[in-house]
């Protein structure tokens, strides 16, 4: 039997005043005349974000949730060009260690998915340079939590630039300049407009990067194209990973807005995927990308509990019979 574990992204719909993404714009920063006081305020906001992250992890433990995506907006203005001398990690180390210790104690898988401006296949040197700065921040956050950074950071391939083949080769070329520690942190996801499963597999197999299969993206990009004949290859990209294979699950908002994420996950759509992969892997972690965050997970589990082809393990996990 295959174990399925569900996770959710960043925010809780149940917890009040628990945003881990509170921020401060550079315009607001500039309005504070004392630069050191402004930096201290940035640090206080970051610490508040980490406090709320800890609250979210406690919420996850209470609800039997073992898989959680951290927001990439924990530290406002990290890597801003006007703050090159700010060591943003140092004042957060104690809290980061506390979060990491708690996650390890309760066996919670933590990862990141940086925003779309992280583009490793850009032909522009400055874009790649800034992307690497952002990825280094994610690496330092994971190291501060004492979490092994290997395969904890999901990326899209990047821009297509109206030439898929050259865009893929640009990724390969740029990859050679990515520090090894950052390379090991990265996993790649197929997207809904530019790079198919086949495109992403090309890079993952060539560069030994695990592939995160996004079922909704695949349907949006190539609705009639089969994916199950590629599943063994997708699984094989995870062969050297310390973590179980993961995928992304979401549902279309509507037929007209097929690419947009719905509030919840369509259980029948989800099980069309699970039916195909049952027994092919011992365990799979499924990240829910739905507007209703943890509420979407709870709603999905309530529907799953009514099915006869599963055996419930806990509040977010089940066996496929």
Q: Which pLDDT does position 261 carry in this prediction?
A: 85
% of the chain at pLDDT higher than 70: 99
Q: Which pLDDT does position 222 carry in this prediction?
A: 66
Find the mean pLDDT for residues 108-136: 96
127 contacts: CB under 8 Å, gap ≥ 6: 119
Q: Which pLDDT does position 259 carry in this prediction?
A: 79
Instruction: Identify whether the C-beta of residue 263 lies closer than 8 Å to the C-beta of residue 292.
Output: yes
Q: Which pLDDT does position 226 carry in this prediction?
A: 83
Exposed / middle / buried, residue 313 (Cβ in 10 Å: 0-12, 13-18, 19+): middle
DSSP 216: H
Report the distance separating Cα 102 and Cα 138, nearest Å: 19
pLDDT 10s digits, 161-214: 999 999 999 999 999 999 999 999 999 999 999 999 999 999 999 999 999 999
Q: Two tokens at 232?
A: 């063994």
pLDDT 10s digits, 219-265: 987 655 689 999 999 999 999 999 999 999 999 988 788 878 899 99
| Three-point CA angle 2, 103, 24, nearest 5° | 120
What does the CA dihedral 268, 269, 275, 278 come to, rounded to 10 degrees? Answer: -110
For residues 150-185, one letter each, b for 16 or more C-beta atoms within 10 angstroms of the residue's C-beta and e for the rest, the string is: bbbbbbbbbbbeeebeebbebbeebbeebeeebebb
Ordered structural domains, the chain, with CATH: 2-320 (3.20.20.150)
Can you say whether the dihedral through the CA atoms of 268, 294, 241, 213 is positive or negative? Answer: positive
């Amino acid at each position: 039997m295959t174990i399925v574990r569900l996770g959710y992204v960043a925010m809780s719909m149940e917890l009040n005043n628990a945003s881990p993404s509170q921020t401060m714009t550079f315009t607001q920063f500039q309005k504070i005349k004392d630069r050191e006081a402004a930096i201290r305020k940035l640090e206080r906001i970051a610490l508040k974000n980490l406090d709320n992250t800890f609250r979210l992890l406690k919420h996850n433990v209470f609800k039997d949730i073992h898989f959680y995506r951290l927001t990439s907006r924990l530290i406002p203005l990290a890597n801003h060009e006007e703050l090159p001398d700010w060591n943003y990690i140092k004042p957060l180390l104690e809290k980061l260690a506390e979060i990491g210790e708690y996650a390890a104690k309760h066996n919670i898988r933590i990862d990141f998915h940086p925003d779309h401006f992280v583009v490793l296949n850009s032909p522009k040197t400055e874009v790649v340079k800034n992307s690497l700065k952002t990825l280094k921040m994610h690496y330092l956050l994971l190291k501060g939590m004492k979490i092994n950074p290997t395969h904890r950071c999901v990326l899209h391939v990047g821009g297509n630039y109206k030439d898929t083949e050259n865009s893929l080769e640009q990724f390969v070329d740029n990859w050679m300049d990515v520090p090894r520690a950052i390379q090991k942190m990265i996993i790649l996801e197929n997207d809904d407009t530019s790079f198919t499963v086949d495109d992403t597999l090309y890079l993952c197999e060539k560069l030994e990067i695990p592939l995160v299969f996004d079922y909704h993206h695949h349907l949006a990009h190539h609705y009639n194209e089969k994916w199950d004949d590629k599943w063994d290859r997708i699984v094989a990209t995870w062969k050297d990973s310390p973590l179980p294979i993961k995928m992304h699950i979401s549902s279309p908002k509507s037929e007209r807005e097929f690419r947009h994420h719905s509030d919840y996950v369509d259980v029948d759509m989800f099980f069309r995927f699970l039916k195909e992969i049952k027994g092919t892997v011992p365990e799979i972690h499924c990240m829910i990308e739905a507007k209703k965050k943890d509420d979407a997970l709870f709603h999905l589990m309530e529907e799953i509990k009514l099915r006869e082809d599963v055996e419930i393990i806990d509040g977010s996990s089940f066996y496929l019979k």
